A and B are shown apart, each in its own frame.
Chain A
């Protein structure tokens, strides 16, 4: 099976039924507790959503360092900046639809422009939020954070990556945004799977010589892309799948190399196609190495109520959509 050995993924990865399922928000909770153990300055602020964001795990471990702000996302962001200026490492947690979003200006001014050490955690991102519906399904958050200078943007592919990202950004100075999902998603990385800011590790590496397409995905769409790659390989394709949890800074070197090898790119994210991971890659390639970039994502629509699984299908965010996108990308080659 052409899983890249460097990725250290679980061996039964293609057998979905065998995989453990955990929500990425657990990764935030576990990661920030670990960060809190090694750094007494880590604090967590939460806008009345401690259980559903899993900030609750930190509250239980370090109650004196957990700060409840009530439903006040704007002041939560600025409070965090003030605490950061006084030496703390604050993580702020709410749903991605409200933070960023409601507090976009405070994040822009007090976190990004001032370059303070504020870590913004956007829970419940994507349509898989489910029954709560459109108002609570953040689909634009990566775009609005990505275009702000100084801001780093992350989207973990599973619970362990989420934990690693949180622990890493607690260590590294600077304003950061991480979005994660509500629902349980397949756990397919391991403790050894590499994560580094600015890197897009290769997860699927075709054993064939040729490269028909390279796929860059983030969040829940990474697993879907691996399933898509398996299907395409069966049909004779040579495919690469890169996990791109670091949406900003983007692994431009890897994107360029992949584009040169395959000549066609597919991007996949649980997010609007405008301006997220797909946007970042399309922008970069169009002025460095123009190749077709076909994006899997939400096509300029709001979400709606439904079961997470059926919404992912409805909004075109499953493996078969990645397969379709790959076919389109290949057909656009050297046009």
Chain B
């Protein structure tokens, strides 16, 4: 299913002519798991008050979110091809006023986690049972506001908050450990009062287990550090930071779709 989404993603990006490739491809398993296995939500009722909240702090991942939302039934599938166009509900960086189901407007890195923390705090104050999830990038961990929010969540013991860091090792100017080293990242979160779980971000069962574990630890917020391969599924994009912020051109898209459909040339696919 995640691969089906990757196909849509490539088609969407090449049509739009701009957009981020690496991270959306890398997190397709995460998105699929959340929207189809983990989140308590109603696609036809995006404002359902008891829904779990999923905050995308790294807004540029939105092509992946749009794909999974379409497949989940939030809006018609054809609308995916309007990504980034004038008048589209699928803005280049997601805007909550334009598309029901987005929770927050994001793009400026760092702003999502404190908002998620605020929601979790409000839920705790009101005795609500819904969960708040926040997906962040690893480059995003450079932002001071992330640590302000982490400190606050730790202090307030927000056990109803689950963060996910997409640990794909890249950011715009290069590999994270060259630009601004994050390690030891798990230690940092622990020292701020969080429970930390490391997982393989492409393994859906591992993610679901981690979320269940996080839910059981209700005295602290949890962060799941999900290791992913940026550009996963497309051989020539994998592990390359150059693919952070650009879409494939039509030629590249053809090769990308082939890779995705044939699992890197390993299986035959009758489309070809």
Write the residues of chain A forming the contact surface with B, with a CB cutoff of 8 angstroms.
43, 64-65, 67, 69-70, 72, 74-75, 78-88, 90, 105-106, 109-110, 113-115
Q: List chain A residues, Cβ under 8 A from B96.
A: 114
Q: Are A110 and B117 in touch, CB under 8 angstroms?
A: no
A82 interface neighbour in B107, B108, B119, Cβ under 8 Å: B119
Which of A67, A86, A90, A109: most chain B CB closer than 10 A?
A86
Question: How many residue pairs bridge A and B at CB < 8 Å?
Answer: 94
Q: Are B97 and A86 in touch, CB under 8 angstroms?
A: no
Asked, given contacts A78-B114, A115-B97, whether A85 binds B103 with beta carbons under 8 Å apart, the answer is: yes
Closest residue of chain A to B107, judged by CB? A109
Closest residue of chain B to A80, judged by CB? B118
Q: Are A106 and B111 in touch, CB under 8 angstroms?
A: yes
B contact face: mostly helix, strand, loop, or mixed: helix
- Give the interface size bracket for B toward A: 20 to 34
Which of A72, A74, A79, A106: most chain B CB closer than 10 A?
A79
A72 to B143, CA, bound (A): 13
Asked, given contacts A70-B151, A72-B148, A115-B97, whether A83 binds B108 with beta carbons under 8 Å apart, the answer is: no
A75 interface neighbour in B103, B125, B148, Cβ under 8 Å: B148
Interface residues of B in 5-49 (CB under 8 A from A): none
Asked, given contacts A83-B118, A109-B108, whether A78 binds B149 with beta carbons under 8 Å apart, the answer is: yes
Assess whether B121 is interfacial by the CB under 8 Å rule. Answer: yes
| Min C-beta distance of A223 to chain B, whole Å | 38
| Min C-beta distance of A61 to chain B, whole Å | 16
A86 to B110, CA, bound (A): 19
A109 to B117, CA, bound (A): 16
The 28 listed contacts between A and B (C-beta, < 8 Å) are A65-B125, A69-B148, A70-B152, A72-B148, A72-B152, A75-B114, A78-B145, A78-B149, A79-B114, A79-B118, A81-B118, A82-B120, A82-B121, A82-B122, A83-B118, A83-B121, A84-B118, A85-B118, A85-B119, A86-B53, A86-B119, A86-B123, A105-B111, A109-B105, A109-B111, A110-B105, A114-B95, A114-B96
A110 interface neighbour in B53, B115, B122, Cβ under 8 Å: B115
A84 to B151, CA, bound (A): 20
Q: Are A79 and B105 in touch, CB under 8 angstroms?
A: no
Q: List chain B residues, Cβ under 8 A from A72.
A: 145, 148, 151-152
A75 to B192, CA, bound (A): 15
Assess whether B104 is interfacial by the CB under 8 Å rule. Answer: yes
Q: List chain A residues, Cβ under 8 A from B116.
A: 82
